[in-house]
Structure formats: C-alpha cells, structure tokens
Amino acid sequence: MAASERINRSRLVLNVVLVGILCYASNEIGFAHKIPPHNISVLWPMSAILFSALLVSSPRHWWAYVLAGYSSSIIRDAQAGFPAQAFLFIGAGLLEIVGAALVIRRYLSPIKMFDSLRELALYLAIAVIGAPMVSAFVSAFAGGTANYWFFWRVWYLSEALACLMLAPAILSWITLARHKSGTIPMARRVEGTVLVTILAGVCFFAFTGNVQTGHGIPALVYLPLPFLLWAAVRFGPLGVNTALLIVACLSISGAVHARGPFVYSDETKGVLSLQLFLATLSLPLMLLAAVIQESRARAQVLRESEARFRSMADTSPVMIWMSGPDQKSEYFNKRWLDFTGRTLEQELGEGWIEGVHPDDRPRCLRIYHESLDARKPFEMEYRLRHKDGHYRWVFGCGVPRFMPDGSFVGYIGSCLDIAERKDAELQLQEQRAEVTHLSRVAVVGELSGAVAHELNQPLTAILSNAQAAQRRLAQEPIDLDEIRDILTDIVNEDKRAGEIIRRLRALLKKGEMQLQPLSLNELANDTVMLAHGDFVSRGIVVSTKLAADLPVVRGDRVQLQQVLLNLISNACDAMRDNAPSERRLEIATHSNGSGTVEVAVTDEGPGIAPEARDRLFEPFVTTKKEGLGLGLTICRTIVKAHGGRLWSDNNPVRGAAFYVSLPTLVRDPI
Amino acid sequence: MRNPIATVFVIDDDAAIRKSLARLLQSAHFDVRSFASPWEFLEQHNPATPGCILLDVSMPELNGLDLQQSLAKQGCDRPIIFLTGHGDIPMSVQAMKAGASDFLTKPVEDHLLLAAIQVAVEKDRQSRAARAEVQAIESRLATLTPREREVLEQVVSGKLNKQIASDLGTVEKTIKVHRGRVMEKMEVNSLADLVRVAALAGVSPGRPPSPR
C-alpha cells in the first residue's frame, strides 16, 4: 500500500500548492480590483477559492490548505508590519470560511448542493447569508466604532458575493471533473463554447462600454439575461454558475476601470448597486437552475423507473396488463402478446376480451367491471385463447393503483397459465375417484363369486316354483290356491334378487356422499346378507350381537356398507387358515354413553402382528397377494369423513377386532 | 294322490329354495322331506325309506362332501345328487369321484332335476333290491347244517361229487344227498345259480377239507 499512499500524498501536496498559488493570484487580482478611493472590493476571490478547497477535501488536511491559502496574505501583512487590522481580517476570514465549511459538510453534500432547491437554499442560508454575516461582526471592528456598520456592510457584501458567484462555479467545475461519467458529446461542447463566447461578448459590451454615467441603470444591463437563461435551461447549475461568474468578472472589471453602468460619482453607491445587481441576478437564476435540475432529475428517475418496469414486465414469466381509469386496457407485456399471438394494438382497449373463451366471457366481464367500479382487487380463472388456437386456463388477478394523493389511475394485474395445474387437478380428482372406485370394485370383485351365488338362490327358487306350477296346471284337479302361493313366492324371490342387484349397483356407483339417518343394526344385517355367499364359500360362521335401541347415526349408506364389507372381508381372509370349526366372525353393535355408536368386527384369526400395527391404515401396504392395499386406508377416510374413528385391537384370547365408532344423529331442538 | 314313487330328501339352508324344490318334486309325484341342515337330516333320517338325497353343496357347518363321507361311514349308500350355486369343476369332479349320483347347478331346470332323480331313485331301488336279495340268501344260508355248508363250498369250487366224497371221507351217494338238500334250501335249480348265489353271499369256494 505504500505506493498508493505515496501517490495520494503527492496528490495532496500538489493540491495544497495549487490552492496556495491560486489564493496568491486571487489576492493580487483582488487588490488590483479594489475600487478607489476606499478600495472596496466587490467580491473577495480568495475566500471563495479557499472555501471551495475546504469543501472538497478531507478535514484532516484543512490545516494545510488554510496555511497555503493564507500564506500570501500573511506574507503581505508581514511586509506591512502586521497591522492590527490584519489579525482581525484573518481571524474573521478563518471564522467564516472554516465555520461555513464545517456546517455545510455537516448538512449538505457539496457535490449535489446546487441540484436541488432545498439544498441550494440551505447553502445560501449558510454560506451566503449566515457565515459572512457572523464574520462581518468580527471584522467590522477594524473600522472602529465610527465606521463599524460601513465596514460591516463592505465586508459582508464582498464575502457574500464571493460565495454566491465564485464558489459555486468552482465547485460545479470540480464536481464535473471528478464525477464525469462518459464523454460529453461534441455538439454539447460546441454549444457551451458558443454560449460562453456570446455571453462574454455581450457582457463586455454591456459592462465596459462607454456609457454615460448617471442615474439609473441603462437597459443594456439586461442584455446578459437571455443568455443566462439559456445557460440555466441547457446546462443546469454548472452553466448558470459559470455564466454568472463571467458576468461578475466583466462587470467588476468594467466598474474598476470606471466603465459601464455602475460608475457613480459616489463610488460606494456604485459598488453597492453593482453588488445588488449581481445578487439579484444570481439568486433567482441559481434557484431556477436548481428547480430545472430537480425536475430533470425527477424525469430521469421516472424514465429509468419506466424502463426498469418495462424490462421487468417483458422478461417476466407471468403475463402482465394495465388498464386506465376508464377501465380500458392500456398495456400488455411481451409474454401476454406472445401467449395470445396478437399485437398490442389488437389487445388494447377492449380487444383482449376477444381472446377469452365465449363461455367464460360473461362471467369475466362481470367480475372485471364490478371490481373496477368498486376499485377493489379481483381474482378469476378463465380460458384464454393461446396463439395455437386452443384455449388454456389462466388465473388472472388485478389490483387498483392510486397516486400518493389518493387519485385512482387504473389497474395493474397479472395472469398465470394454469393449464397444467388445472389438468393436474382434474387428473387428481379423477384418480381419486378411480382409486375409490377401484377399491370398491376390488372388494366387490372378491365377493363377485359369492354375489353370483347369492343371485342364484332366488333364481333357483323362482325357476323351480314356476316349473312346479306348470306341472300342476297340466294335472287334474288344478289347485288354484297352490298356484297363487307359488306366484306369491316367485314375486318375493324376484324382489330378493332385485335387492341384491340394487345393493351391488349402489356399491359400484361412484358418487358423492349422501347423508341420511342410518341404523347400524340394519346396516349390519344387510351387509351380512350381502356377504352371505362369501361366508358360505369360505366356511365362515357369522354371528351378530346387535344392541337393542341403538341410536341412529347420520351417514352415507353405501360408503359405510363398503367399510363394513371391507372389514368383514379382511376378517374372513384372516381366518383362511383356521380349522373349519374355528372360523367364527362376530359383528357387534353397542352404544357408548357419550353420543357415539360402535360397531365391532371380530375374528378368530392370527391377530395383528405388532410390526404391522402401525402400517395397517397406510395406503398400498398389504399382506394379500392380489390386494391393492387401499381398503383400510379408504375405510379410515370414509369413517373420518363421517366424524368417526376406525381402529383395531387384538382380542384377549385370539384374533383381531376392528372398531368403528360414529357420532349419533343429534335431533335439532325445535 | 297316487302312491309316491319314492322319497326325495332335500337338504338346503335356503328356505325359499327348499319350498320351491319340494313343490316341484311333489308335482312330479315324489314324496319330499326337507331339512335345513345335514345335522337335521342325520338325526331324523330313516335308512329304510327308499329314495335319494338332493343336497346343496355349499352350506356352512358341514360340507356336502363331508356328509357324503359320514353317510358312507354309517353304511348308508343312498344316492346323493349335489346341487350347487357355484358350478366349479374341481368340486364337481371331487364329488363324482366320491360317488355322487349327479352334480347339478342352480338354477336347475325341472327336466334335468327330475331325470337325475329318476336315475338316483332307480339306483337306490336296485341297490335295495340287491341288498334284499343278499339278505335272503344269507338267511337261507343260515339254515344249512355245517356239513351242508362244507359241501356247498366244495361244490361251488367245481369239484366232482366223487372228489368231494373222497375229500370229506364219505361216499358219493351221501354227497349227492347233501347236494340235493343244499339246492333245495338255497332255492336254486342249477349249479350255475348256486355258484352265483354263493358268491353273492360271500361264500369263499374251495376250502381244504377239515380233517375229521
């Protein structure tokens, strides 16, 4: 790091030396431009130069700059024998320059001071009004009590003007030099040069022409004004500060050489009027330049913000749109246009509606306009035509936009292509229904052999009854009562067959839950009847122990029957390897006092192994060769949907039991 | 009502089927006795009643095939017709091998059922007749004296009277007399019949003569 330190150090030394030289030179110029006979200076350049140097350098080095800056003054004073005035002036000067520099550093940024109205005003308050005023109180003592206020005025005005007209120019140019980004185009340089040249010429003409001295200020004085405005508008604070400096130099120079409109018989009046002229010229123009600069900066920020928004909107994976307060669309991002394959012009206004699916259009328009009328956010799903001609589901939402003052400026919203999500949702729904159905079918499939057997019973009875009747009718005598009995039996058996078919169909039907009051006793009996064939073919002996006066529950008959069938089927499977006399299955119901009703399906199988306990209700886990492993999972889902519980336990002696508890139907109090 | 041809014992746990089958069989002039389970049947069954069994194979408690075995153990060879709602081949083969008279599937047409029952009833009648005949023969056999019994055994083995006389240590004439009495008691007219009857009764021919 030694190398860069050395570079910095040498640069510092250079700067300090430069400041010293400049101050020396400005002192010479300043002295040369004092207006006789009182030798009042219109503005004191050295203050401005040192002040600028302090503002743009680090306070650590200020001692060096101050020394360099005052070195020539001190030398000069030393040559004059250090009059008392000298100390006062130096002291006041230091107070003003260092004090102002400190305060400004604290509250403002020297680089951007002139670009904002507020900061410019602060600068003016501190450096042009405040600091010189305070130091004037000190230095005025040089005039003694008699001329205190005269000296005060002289000091104040010359210091103030230096900070008003010279320091800003210096600071602006230093800022430009330090923070220049990119090269300035040639056209601009040319324009600047032309402006400066013309302005100089005009000033020269206005301030150094041999005009009659007299009263009032001739109109020529206003000549520089348009060029100052030109500088302010086109070049901002930098331009205006430079232009004002040129005006100051030339007008002061003219006045010193007793030319121009500011020459009076009473030269103090002349100086005063020149100072006032310069002040009244600078202040508004600098403020104007600051205002212009601010509005330009704001416009720039706005442009950048717009550009940022556009690039963000166009690269977004989501479709974005905007509409104005009149509810007509005014912007669609690139992705929207890519999606629909249309141009912006086609979609603007109300064109976007054409892309919405005709079936969704009324609903979409209704939601859109209702929300926009109420200025509320909205969400909707609809189908939008893709450029390939097909409609895809999208999820659109919009929010209202308000200005900081609360005025409504329109809506902004986005659309997301959810075609895949919708497909997945649909598929999931279908799959779920399919799985439930499959599980039912699987259960039924296991019973199908038994069901066929079940159906055969009434069919056999019908056939034999009918054929018996046929024979009887061919024999004498015909016993009509017997025939009637036969027909009655046939009808009953047919109904019995129909009932079995109906139950089977209900079991296979995919559908929503249909809640109705149910008696679990009745359900248990029905289920036992339905599974009768299965019991028979597997040699299972079923007994039921149904509690009397069992409270009614509310449930879907088909689904609860499915649960019961599944539990029964499992119990039968569990006893597959049992001896024929040990295949007892019991279905019991009883009511718990606490508003629930319980059904228990008990078997005499091997029971549930401890390691299988936890996985009993897991999907796709099965011990059966051709099982799906979904039965108990679905059963539990169904029971839970009814607000009940399904659990299992091993019996004390042997086998397992599955318990279903369901809440009883609570009658609405009238 | 005419005299029933025979009795059909219907065993089925489904009441409606019992009733309808009974009706059908009665219309064909069979006497029908219905039972809800094999136990009931075994308790109340009278083996002397001619007829066959119509049995639903798939009842809990006792498999139809097991009943068949039980009956056989009891010495009852009443023909059984199986009736099933399943109709699977292995079960039917097993049943037939075990001696079932027929194997029918539900729902059963009347002509098929009645034909099977006719066959079974006829089988039953024949077996009864055969049993009756054997019993008669045995009772006749019991009237023979030991000597006559001996002579019978030798005669049915095909020996000549002369040989039998020398084997038994007596003369041909005596043998001829015994032989005549045996024929008489056994109520046969020819040697061939005697042989047949003896075989039916399980008389083993040609025992070597016991030494006197």
β A656-663/A596-602 pair status = antiparallel
| Residues of B with Cβ-Cβ distance to A456 under 8 angstroms | 85, 106-107
Question: Which pLDDT does position A670 carry in this prediction?
Answer: 44
Question: Which pLDDT does position A344 carry in this prediction?
Answer: 87
Q: Select from A453, A460, A483, A534 the residue whose CB has the most chain B CBs within 10 Å, as the one to mutate to test that interface.
A: A460
Q: How far apart are CA B105 and CA A220, in angstroms?
A: 133
B19 touches chain A (CB under 8 A): yes
| Residues of B with Cβ-Cβ distance to A483 under 8 angstroms | none
Question: Which pLDDT does position A589 carry in this prediction?
Answer: 94
To the nearest whole Å, the CA of B206 is away from the closest chain A CA by 51
Question: Which pLDDT does position A509 carry in this prediction?
Answer: 64
Write out residues 44-73 of B within 8 Å (CB-CB) of A. 58-61, 63
Are the Cβ atoms of A468 and B61 closer than 8 angstroms?
no
Are the Cβ atoms of A468 and B23 closer than 8 angstroms?
yes
Long-range contacts, stretch B200-203, CB < 8 angstroms, 24+ apart: B200/B133, B200/B134, B200/B137, B201/B134, B201/B137, B201/B138, B201/B141, B203/B141, B203/B152, B203/B153, B203/B156
**Per-residue pLDDT at B118 exceeds 90:** yes
CB A333 within 8 A of CB A320: yes
| Residues of B with Cβ-Cβ distance to A471 under 8 angstroms | 24, 27-28, 110
Of A457, A463, A536, the CB nearest to B60: A536
| Residues of B with Cβ-Cβ distance to A462 under 8 angstroms | 20, 107
CA-CA distances (angstroms) from residue B192 to A45, B132, B145, B155? 170, 20, 21, 11
Find tokens 């009756």 and name the residue: B132
To the nearest whole Å, the CA of B82 is away from the closest chain A CA by 14
Give Cβ neighbours of residue A112 (< 8 Å, ≥ 6 apart).
A119
Q: How far apart are CA A314 and CA B207, in angstroms?
A: 120
Are the Cβ atoms of A461 and B85 closer than 8 angstroms?
no
Of the candidates A516, A599, A585, A514, the residue with the CA atom closest to the CA atom of residue A550: A599
Structure tokens, A401: 């936009």
Return the higher-pLDDT residue of B126 and A82. B126
Are the Cβ atoms of B24 and A467 closer than 8 angstroms?
yes
Give Cβ neighbours of residue B36 (< 8 Å, ≥ 6 apart).
B11, B12, B13, B15, B18
- CB pairs below 8 Å between A and B: how many? 85
Question: Which pLDDT does position A669 carry in this prediction?
Answer: 47
B29 touches chain A (CB under 8 A): no
The helices-and-strands tally (H runs, E runs) of chain A is: 21, 12
| Residues of B with Cβ-Cβ distance to A465 under 8 angstroms | 19-20, 23-24
B26 touches chain A (CB under 8 A): yes
| Residues of A with Cβ-Cβ distance to B54 under 8 angstroms | none
**Per-residue pLDDT at B60 exceeds 80:** no
DSSP state of A550: P
Are the Cβ atoms of B85 and A533 closer than 8 angstroms?
yes
CB A248 within 8 A of CB A158: no
Find, in chain B, the residue whose alpha carbon is nearest to that of A496: B16
List chain A residues with pLDDT less than 70.
Answer: 1, 36-38, 181, 209-217, 440-450, 506-513, 619-630, 666-670
Question: Which pLDDT does position A546 carry in this prediction?
Answer: 92
Question: Which pLDDT does position A305 carry in this prediction?
Answer: 92
Of B24, B58, B106, the CB nearest to A468: B24
To the nearest whole Å, the CA of B40 is away from the closest chain A CA by 18
B1 touches chain A (CB under 8 A): no
Q: Select from A447, A454, A459, A467 the residue whose CB has the most chain B CBs within 10 Å, as the one to mutate to test that interface.
A: A467
Q: How far apart are CA A647 and CA A600, in angstroms?
A: 10
**Per-residue pLDDT at B1 exceeds 50:** no
Q: How far apart are CA B165 and CA B151, in angstroms?
A: 9
Neighbour order of strands in the sheet with A584-592: A541-546, A584-592, A596-602, A656-663, A645-650
Find, in chain A, the residue whose alpha carbon is nearest to that of B26: A468
Are the Cβ atoms of B86 and A464 closer than 8 angstroms?
no
Q: How far apart are CA A332 and CA A352, in angstroms?
A: 9
Give Cβ neighbours of residue B45 (< 8 Å, ≥ 6 apart).
B9, B76
Question: Which pLDDT does position B81 carry in this prediction?
Answer: 92
Confidence of residue B209 (pLDDT cuts 50, 70, 90): low
Mean pLDDT for the stretch of residues B102-119: 90
Are the Cβ atoms of A471 and B19 closer than 8 angstroms?
no
Say how far residue A341 (Cα) sits from the centre of its chain.
Answer: 28
Of B19, B60, B85, the CB nearest to A453: B85
Find, in chain A, the residue whose alpha carbon is nearest to that of B107: A460
